[in-house]
Amino acid sequence: MTQHFPSVRFALGALAVAGLLATGAVQAQAQEPVQPLPAVKTIEPAKIELGKKLFFDPRLSKSGFISCNSCHNLSMGGSDNLKTSIGDRWQKGPINSPTVLNSSLNLAQFWDGRAKDLQEQAGGPIANPGEMAFTHALAVDLLRSIPQYVAEFKKVFGHDKLSIEEVTSAIAAFEETLTTPNARFDQWLKGDKKAIDAQELRGYQLFKNAGCVACHNGPNLGGSSFQRMGVVEPYKTANPAEGRFAVTGKDADRFNFKVPTLRNVELTYPYFHDGAADTLAQAVDTMGRLQLGRTFSDAENADIVAFLKTLTGEQPQITLPILPPSSDKTKRPQPFE
């Protein structure tokens, strides 16, 4: 890395040495293509708590059995660790479920970016016949039939309309808290040179020098652009997903996917939109060959994998919410119909 220490030193020559060193550390960090995760804002605790209940509430599905957490299990890195998800009546899902951890940092939601933000996204699965198989109207009716929910929505939103927009807004507020700060790599970025070992550092240097950072950069090491899967060599898959093309209809966007975050990637196997890579070693090998035209040796591959594992951060500490009971009026679930 080229460092701008000399110019900093000339410009700030009059400053105390301690000040200079601090400036140097900030400069060095600013020059890395990856930045530490920003701190999470928790300004609306009551709304976040309501969103957490909704995230865990399986009654938002037709079967009464599937919640957001079924496919974005917060005990397992916010994913389901399945090739493709299982939806209502055990339907095979079309695509791998991305993690909800740090997803608020992504430029858009879904592999093809068809939802602009978390709130827009949250309405999708509830009404998707292959996922929760409910409708927005049924979800709202259900919540309105549960007195404790009615009271909680009123407390948060100041009136008792209880709309789907409020449901998705509360879920999104909860999801915004699902960040994973203080990964060992972040500690290293902030100046603790002992936070990662020699192999992990070699892996990071190779990750930078080989060109992975062209796409996996920023605080989320991804999530900031749509890129072709298979730049140098085509990616072979039986999965029919066409990526960004489905949203824009532009030929140039065919097979472009949102670059996934690499934060907590150790926890979110299997990899790629079709879930075809079972291990990080496989995913790194595929990326090297298909995106960069580069075949890594076993040792190089192991170095990169070791680096990727330093991206596992502190997982959100979730107290399992106790959900308000259904009332006599609440429509009963239909798991087998």
Residues that bind ligand HEC (CB under 6 A): 55, 66, 68, 70-72, 85, 87, 93, 95, 97-98, 100, 103, 106, 109-111, 118, 121-122, 125-126, 131-132, 171, 207, 210-212, 214-216, 227, 229, 231, 257, 259-260, 262, 265, 268, 271-273, 283-284, 287-288, 291-292, 304
What is the smallest separation between the CB atom of 84 and ligand HEC, expressed in angstroms? Answer: 7
Specify the residue, 81 or 330, whose C-beta has the smaller distance to ligand HEC.
81
Exposed / middle / buried, residue 41 (Cβ in 10 Å: 0-12, 13-18, 19+): exposed
Q: Which residue in 267, 262, 120 sits closest to 203, CA to CA?
A: 262
What is the smallest separation between the CB atom of 28 and ligand HEC, expressed in angstroms? Answer: 23
Asked if 308 contacts 203 with a C-beta cutoff of 8 angstroms, the reply is yes
Q: How far apart are CA 61 and CA 126, in angstroms?
A: 6
* 87 three-state secondary structure: strand
Q: Which of these is catalytic: 131, 166, 176, 300?
A: 131
Task: HSE, CB side, 13 Å, CA atoms: give it for residue 247.
Answer: 17
Specify the residue, 8 or 246, whose C-beta has the smaller distance to ligand HEC.
246
Q: How far apart are CA 114 and CA 248, in angstroms?
A: 9
Q: Classify residue 274 by its DSSP letter.
A: T
Specify the residue, 186 or 300, whose C-beta has the smaller distance to ligand HEC.
300
What is the smallest separation between the CB atom of 79 and ligand HEC, expressed in angstroms? Answer: 8
What is the smallest separation between the CB atom of 137 and ligand HEC, expressed in angstroms? Answer: 15
Q: How far apart are CA 33 and CA 221, in angstroms?
A: 9
What is the smallest separation between the CB atom of 37 and ligand HEC, expressed in angstroms? Answer: 15
Specify the residue, 20 or 247, whose C-beta has the smaller distance to ligand HEC.
247
Specify the residue, 34 or 118, whose C-beta has the smaller distance to ligand HEC.
118
User: What phi and psi values does residue 256 have, to the nearest 5 degrees?
Assistant: -90, 130
- The residue behind tokens 């959900």 is 323
Please say if 131 is a catalytic residue: yes
Mind telling me the catalytic residues? 131
